[in-house]
Protein backbone atom coordinates (compact mmCIF):
# COMPACT_ATOMS: atom_id res chain seq x y z
CA UNK A 1 0.00 0.00 0.00
CA UNK A 2 2.87 2.42 0.75
CA UNK A 3 5.09 1.50 -2.19
CA UNK A 4 7.03 4.21 -4.07
CA UNK A 5 4.74 4.11 -7.11
CA UNK A 6 1.67 4.64 -4.93
CA UNK A 7 3.34 7.66 -3.34
CA UNK A 8 4.28 9.10 -6.74
CA UNK A 9 0.75 8.65 -8.07
CA UNK A 10 -0.65 10.26 -4.95
CA UNK A 11 1.64 13.26 -5.24
CA UNK A 12 0.40 13.72 -8.81
CA UNK A 13 -3.22 13.47 -7.64
CA UNK A 14 -2.62 16.01 -4.89
CA UNK A 15 -1.30 18.40 -7.50
CA UNK A 16 -4.86 18.47 -8.86
CA UNK A 17 -6.64 19.10 -5.54
CA UNK A 18 -5.97 21.43 -2.66
CA UNK A 19 -4.94 20.20 0.78
CA UNK A 20 -6.42 22.67 3.27
CA UNK A 21 -3.72 24.67 4.99
CA UNK A 22 -3.33 24.40 8.73
CA UNK A 23 -5.26 27.35 10.23
CA UNK A 24 -3.61 30.23 12.07
CA UNK A 25 -4.62 28.83 15.46
CA UNK A 26 -2.55 25.69 14.89
CA UNK A 27 0.45 27.58 13.59
CA UNK A 28 0.33 29.80 16.68
CA UNK A 29 0.04 26.79 18.99
CA UNK A 30 3.01 25.11 17.27
CA UNK A 31 5.06 28.24 17.84
CA UNK A 32 4.09 28.44 21.50
CA UNK A 33 4.88 24.76 22.07
CA UNK A 34 8.41 25.26 20.72
CA UNK A 35 9.24 27.46 23.69
CA UNK A 36 11.28 26.02 26.56
CA UNK A 37 8.46 26.64 29.03
CA UNK A 38 5.13 27.21 27.24
CA UNK A 39 2.47 28.66 29.51
CA UNK A 40 -1.09 27.42 29.94
CA UNK A 41 -2.40 30.98 29.82
CA UNK A 42 -0.80 31.66 26.43
CA UNK A 43 -2.15 28.41 24.95
CA UNK A 44 -5.62 29.07 26.34
CA UNK A 45 -5.66 32.65 25.10
CA UNK A 46 -4.72 31.48 21.59
CA UNK A 47 -7.52 28.91 21.48
CA UNK A 48 -10.09 31.28 22.95
CA UNK A 49 -9.57 33.75 20.11
CA UNK A 50 -11.23 31.20 17.84
CA UNK A 51 -14.71 31.15 19.32
CA UNK A 52 -16.00 28.27 17.20
CA UNK A 53 -13.06 25.98 17.98
CA UNK A 54 -13.26 26.93 21.67
CA UNK A 55 -16.89 25.83 21.84
CA UNK A 56 -16.09 22.54 20.10
CA UNK A 57 -13.14 21.88 22.41
CA UNK A 58 -15.28 22.31 25.52
CA UNK A 59 -18.06 20.17 24.09
CA UNK A 60 -15.55 17.45 23.22
CA UNK A 61 -13.59 17.30 26.47
CA UNK A 62 -16.77 17.46 28.57
CA UNK A 63 -18.32 14.48 26.80
CA UNK A 64 -18.65 11.17 28.62
CA UNK A 65 -15.91 9.71 26.43
CA UNK A 66 -13.09 11.83 27.89
CA UNK A 67 -14.00 10.93 31.46
CA UNK A 68 -13.02 14.17 33.18
CA UNK A 69 -13.86 14.03 36.88
CA UNK A 70 -15.16 17.60 36.74
CA UNK A 71 -16.51 19.53 33.80
CA UNK A 72 -14.23 22.14 32.27
CA UNK A 73 -15.97 25.51 32.21
CA UNK A 74 -13.25 27.35 30.28
CA UNK A 75 -10.46 26.65 27.81
CA UNK A 76 -7.93 27.54 30.49
CA UNK A 77 -9.39 24.93 32.82
CA UNK A 78 -9.58 22.34 30.05
CA UNK A 79 -5.92 22.99 29.19
CA UNK A 80 -4.92 22.64 32.84
CA UNK A 81 -6.86 19.38 33.19
CA UNK A 82 -5.63 17.75 29.98
CA UNK A 83 -2.20 19.30 29.51
CA UNK A 84 -0.74 21.47 26.78
CA UNK A 85 0.10 18.79 24.22
CA UNK A 86 -3.20 16.99 24.78
CA UNK A 87 -5.31 20.07 24.21
CA UNK A 88 -3.23 20.87 21.12
CA UNK A 89 -4.01 17.48 19.59
CA UNK A 90 -7.72 17.94 20.21
CA UNK A 91 -7.61 21.37 18.57
CA UNK A 92 -5.76 19.88 15.59
CA UNK A 93 -8.44 17.24 15.07
CA UNK A 94 -11.30 19.71 15.30
CA UNK A 95 -9.52 22.21 13.08
CA UNK A 96 -8.97 19.57 10.41
CA UNK A 97 -12.64 18.64 10.43
CA UNK A 98 -13.65 22.27 10.02
CA UNK A 99 -11.09 22.87 7.27
CA UNK A 100 -12.18 19.81 5.31
CA UNK A 101 -15.85 20.71 5.71
CA UNK A 102 -15.13 24.16 4.27
CA UNK A 103 -12.98 22.89 1.39
CA UNK A 104 -14.13 22.74 -2.23
CA UNK A 105 -16.24 19.71 -3.08
CA UNK A 106 -16.95 19.01 0.55
CA UNK A 107 -18.13 15.62 1.76
CA UNK A 108 -21.82 14.90 2.44
CA UNK A 109 -23.19 16.45 5.65
CA UNK A 110 -23.20 13.08 7.45
CA UNK A 111 -19.63 12.22 6.44
CA UNK A 112 -18.08 13.29 9.76
CA UNK A 113 -20.57 11.40 11.92
CA UNK A 114 -18.52 8.19 11.85
CA UNK A 115 -15.09 9.81 12.34
CA UNK A 116 -16.49 11.72 15.30
CA UNK A 117 -17.89 8.51 16.79
CA UNK A 118 -14.60 6.68 16.21
CA UNK A 119 -12.61 9.53 17.75
CA UNK A 120 -14.78 9.67 20.87
CA UNK A 121 -14.81 5.91 21.42
CA UNK A 122 -11.07 5.62 20.77
CA UNK A 123 -10.46 8.31 23.40
CA UNK A 124 -12.30 6.19 25.98
CA UNK A 125 -10.68 2.89 25.00
CA UNK A 126 -7.18 4.40 25.03
CA UNK A 127 -7.60 5.25 28.70
CA UNK A 128 -9.28 1.98 29.57
CA UNK A 129 -6.98 -0.49 27.82
CA UNK A 130 -3.78 1.41 27.17
CA UNK A 131 -3.60 3.64 30.21
CA UNK A 132 -2.74 6.49 27.85
CA UNK A 133 -4.07 9.99 27.37
CA UNK A 134 -7.14 10.19 25.11
CA UNK A 135 -6.01 13.05 22.87
CA UNK A 136 -3.91 11.13 20.34
CA UNK A 137 -6.56 8.43 19.98
CA UNK A 138 -9.12 11.18 19.38
CA UNK A 139 -6.87 12.90 16.83
CA UNK A 140 -6.21 9.61 15.01
CA UNK A 141 -9.90 8.73 14.93
CA UNK A 142 -10.80 12.01 13.25
CA UNK A 143 -7.86 12.06 10.83
CA UNK A 144 -7.63 8.43 9.71
CA UNK A 145 -10.06 8.73 6.79
CA UNK A 146 -9.50 12.39 5.92
CA UNK A 147 -8.01 11.21 2.64
CA UNK A 148 -11.50 10.17 1.55
CA UNK A 149 -12.58 13.81 1.42
CA UNK A 150 -9.84 14.70 -1.07
CA UNK A 151 -10.60 11.54 -3.05
CA UNK A 152 -14.20 12.79 -3.32
CA UNK A 153 -12.95 16.13 -4.60
CA UNK A 154 -10.79 14.51 -7.26
CA UNK A 155 -13.06 11.65 -8.41
CA UNK A 156 -16.73 12.34 -9.04
CA UNK A 157 -17.68 8.67 -8.66
CA UNK A 158 -15.86 8.15 -5.36
CA UNK A 159 -18.91 8.54 -3.11
CA UNK A 160 -20.78 5.83 -4.98
CA UNK A 161 -17.65 3.69 -5.01
CA UNK A 162 -17.42 3.88 -1.20
CA UNK A 163 -21.02 2.74 -0.82
CA UNK A 164 -20.44 -0.19 -3.15
CA UNK A 165 -17.24 -1.32 -1.44
CA UNK A 166 -18.69 -1.17 2.05
CA UNK A 167 -21.94 -2.85 1.08
CA UNK A 168 -20.00 -5.63 -0.64
CA UNK A 169 -17.61 -6.15 2.30
CA UNK A 170 -14.65 -5.60 -0.05
CA UNK A 171 -11.11 -4.52 0.77
CA UNK A 172 -11.36 -0.76 0.32
CA UNK A 173 -7.65 -0.09 -0.18
CA UNK A 174 -7.24 -2.81 -2.81
CA UNK A 175 -10.28 -1.59 -4.71
CA UNK A 176 -9.09 2.01 -4.57
CA UNK A 177 -5.67 1.04 -5.95
CA UNK A 178 -7.29 -0.82 -8.83
CA UNK A 179 -9.64 2.00 -9.77
CA UNK A 180 -7.74 5.18 -8.84
CA UNK A 181 -4.08 4.10 -8.67
CA UNK A 182 -3.85 5.40 -5.11
CA UNK A 183 -5.79 5.01 -1.87
CA UNK A 184 -7.23 7.14 0.91
CA UNK A 185 -4.65 6.01 3.49
CA UNK A 186 -1.74 7.35 1.43
CA UNK A 187 -3.67 10.56 0.71
CA UNK A 188 -4.41 10.92 4.42
CA UNK A 189 -0.74 10.41 5.19
CA UNK A 190 0.18 13.36 2.96
CA UNK A 191 -2.47 15.49 4.66
CA UNK A 192 -1.07 14.58 8.10
CA UNK A 193 2.45 15.50 6.94
CA UNK A 194 1.21 18.86 5.67
CA UNK A 195 -0.40 19.51 9.05
CA UNK A 196 2.78 18.41 10.87
CA UNK A 197 1.10 15.80 13.01
CA UNK A 198 3.33 13.61 15.22
CA UNK A 199 5.32 11.12 13.13
CA UNK A 200 3.75 8.04 14.72
CA UNK A 201 0.27 9.41 13.98
CA UNK A 202 1.30 9.91 10.35
CA UNK A 203 2.41 6.29 10.15
CA UNK A 204 -0.77 5.01 11.77
CA UNK A 205 -2.87 6.92 9.24
CA UNK A 206 -0.79 5.43 6.43
CA UNK A 207 -1.10 1.90 7.77
CA UNK A 208 -4.50 1.84 9.45
CA UNK A 209 -5.70 -0.93 7.13
CA UNK A 210 -2.61 -3.05 7.93
CA UNK A 211 -3.49 -3.57 11.58
CA UNK A 212 -2.72 -7.31 11.87
CA UNK A 213 0.76 -6.91 10.39
CA UNK A 214 1.43 -3.72 12.35
CA UNK A 215 0.48 -5.30 15.68
CA UNK A 216 2.77 -8.29 15.03
CA UNK A 217 5.89 -6.24 14.32
CA UNK A 218 8.78 -6.47 16.79
CA UNK A 219 7.15 -9.56 18.22
CA UNK A 220 4.01 -7.67 19.14
CA UNK A 221 5.80 -5.90 22.00
CA UNK A 222 3.39 -3.38 23.56
CA UNK A 223 4.03 0.18 22.42
CA UNK A 224 2.11 3.45 22.15
CA UNK A 225 1.64 3.21 18.35
CA UNK A 226 0.46 -0.41 18.50
CA UNK A 227 -1.94 0.34 21.34
CA UNK A 228 -3.32 3.31 19.39
CA UNK A 229 -3.80 1.06 16.36
CA UNK A 230 -5.64 -1.54 18.46
CA UNK A 231 -8.03 0.94 20.07
CA UNK A 232 -8.62 2.58 16.68
CA UNK A 233 -9.74 -0.73 15.15
CA UNK A 234 -12.00 -1.44 18.13
CA UNK A 235 -13.51 2.03 17.85
CA UNK A 236 -14.10 1.56 14.12
CA UNK A 237 -15.94 -1.68 14.77
CA UNK A 238 -18.03 -0.11 17.53
CA UNK A 239 -19.02 2.69 15.16
CA UNK A 240 -19.99 0.10 12.52
CA UNK A 241 -22.17 -1.64 15.13
CA UNK A 242 -23.75 1.72 15.97
CA UNK A 243 -24.87 1.92 12.34
CA UNK A 244 -26.08 -1.70 12.37
CA UNK A 245 -23.09 -3.25 10.56
CA UNK A 246 -21.85 -5.80 13.07
CA UNK A 247 -20.49 -8.13 10.37
CA UNK A 248 -18.05 -5.67 8.81
CA UNK A 249 -15.11 -6.88 6.74
CA UNK A 250 -12.44 -4.76 8.44
CA UNK A 251 -13.13 -6.29 11.85
CA UNK A 252 -13.27 -9.76 10.34
CA UNK A 253 -9.74 -9.23 9.00
CA UNK A 254 -8.17 -7.68 12.08
CA UNK A 255 -10.41 -8.27 15.10
CA UNK A 256 -8.68 -11.39 16.39
CA UNK A 257 -5.24 -9.77 16.25
CA UNK A 258 -6.54 -6.67 18.03
CA UNK A 259 -8.14 -8.58 20.89
CA UNK A 260 -5.10 -10.82 21.27
CA UNK A 261 -2.78 -7.83 21.44
CA UNK A 262 -4.85 -6.21 24.20
CA UNK A 263 -5.61 -9.48 25.99
CA UNK A 264 -9.37 -9.05 25.71
CA UNK A 265 -11.80 -11.92 25.18
CA UNK A 266 -14.46 -11.73 22.48
CA UNK A 267 -17.14 -11.96 25.20
CA UNK A 268 -15.67 -9.01 27.07
CA UNK A 269 -15.50 -7.00 23.87
CA UNK A 270 -19.15 -7.70 23.12
CA UNK A 271 -20.02 -6.09 26.45
CA UNK A 272 -17.70 -3.15 25.74
CA UNK A 273 -19.28 -2.72 22.31
CA UNK A 274 -22.80 -2.62 23.74
CA UNK A 275 -21.74 -0.11 26.39
CA UNK A 276 -20.05 2.17 23.87
CA UNK A 277 -22.97 1.98 21.44
CA UNK A 278 -25.28 3.01 24.27
CA UNK A 279 -23.00 5.99 24.99
CA UNK A 280 -23.04 7.00 21.33
CA UNK A 281 -26.83 6.80 21.26
CA UNK A 282 -27.02 8.94 24.40
CA UNK A 283 -24.59 11.43 22.86
CA UNK A 284 -26.88 11.83 19.84
CA UNK A 285 -29.95 12.58 21.94
Cα separation, 29 vs 91, whole angstroms: 9
Given a cut of 70, whether residue 87 has pLDDT beyond it is yes
Q: How many CB atoms lie within 10 A of CB 154?
A: 15
State the pLDDT at residue 223: 96
The string of DSSP codes covering 173-241 is: HHHHHHHHSS-HHHHHHHHHHHTT--HHHHHHHHTTT-HHHHHHGGGG---HHHHHHHHHHHHHHHHHH
State the pLDDT at residue 107: 62
Domains of the chain, by residue range, sit at 4-20+103-284
State the pLDDT at residue 246: 87
Sign (positive or negative) of CA dihedral 276, 188, 255, 173: positive
Q: What is the DSSP letter of 127?
A: I
State the pLDDT at residue 37: 87
Please state the length of the chain. Answer: 285
Query: Considering only CA atoms, which of 189, 178, 167 is closest in space to residue 245?
Result: 167
Percentage of residues in the chain having pLDDT higher than 70: 93
State the pLDDT at residue 272: 97
pLDDT digits (tens, 9 = 90+) for 113-138: 999 999 999 999 999 998 888 999 99
Residues in contact with 96: Cβ distance below 8 Å, sequence separation at least 6, in sequence order: 20, 142, 143, 146, 191, 195
Cα separation, 152 vs 148, whole angstroms: 6
> Do the Cβ atoms of 280 and 117 come closer than 8 Å?
yes
Give the least confident one: 20-29, 53-62, 254-263: 20-29
CATH number of 4-20+103-284: 1.10.3210.10
> Do the Cβ atoms of 235 and 122 come closer than 8 Å?
yes
Grade residue 24 by pLDDT with cuts at 50, 70 and 90: confident
> Do the Cβ atoms of 138 and 88 come closer than 8 Å?
no
pLDDT digits (tens, 9 = 90+) for 38-82: 899 999 999 999 998 999 999 999 998 888 888 899 999 999 988
State the pLDDT at residue 16: 65
Percentage of residues in the chain having pLDDT higher than 90: 53
> Do the Cβ atoms of 76 and 87 come closer than 8 Å?
no
Q: How many CB atoms lie within 10 A of CB 183?
A: 27
Amino acid sequence: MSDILSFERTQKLLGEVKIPSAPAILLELHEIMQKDEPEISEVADTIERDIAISALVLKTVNSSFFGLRSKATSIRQATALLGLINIGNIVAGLALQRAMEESDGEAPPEFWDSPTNVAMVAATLAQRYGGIQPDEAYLLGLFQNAGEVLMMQRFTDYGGFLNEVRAGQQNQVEQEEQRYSTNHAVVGYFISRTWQLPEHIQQLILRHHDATEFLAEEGGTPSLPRTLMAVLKMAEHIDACFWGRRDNAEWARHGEAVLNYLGISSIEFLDVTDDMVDLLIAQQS
